């Protein structure tokens, strides 16, 4: 077989250390026509002539 990395006694150490946070209530995402409309306004209407990718966080 082969050796196991790290003892199994420490399994789940980090998960048990992290504080429990209750999930927050989120509004449901738009679907169908409304979602397409949102995408259109985001991509074409609100464009200020900048050359950044849609994925950049700057």
Q: Check whether 1 has a pLDDT greater than 90.
A: no
Task: Name, in order, each residue with C-beta under 8 angstroms of 58's C-beta and a sequence gap of 6 or more.
Answer: 52
Q: What is the pLDDT of residues 5-51, one digit of tens each?
A: 778 888 889 999 999 999 999 999 999 999 999 999 988 888 776 77
Q: DSSP assignment, residue 12?
A: T
Q: Check whether 3 has a pLDDT greater than 80.
A: no
pTM confidence score: 0.49
Contact 30, 40 (CB under 8 A): no
Q: Given this model, what pLDDT does residue 2 score?
A: 65
User: Which tokens belong to 43?
Assistant: 């991509």
Q: Given this model, what pLDDT does residue 14 score?
A: 92
């Amino acid at each position: 077989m082969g050796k196991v990395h790290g003892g199994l006694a420490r399994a789940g150490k980090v998960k048990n250390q992290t504080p429990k946070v209750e999930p927050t209530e989120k509004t449901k995402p738009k679907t169908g026509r409304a979602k397409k409309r949102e995408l259109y306004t985001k991509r074409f209407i609100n464009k200020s002539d900048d050359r950044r990718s849609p994925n950049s966080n700057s």
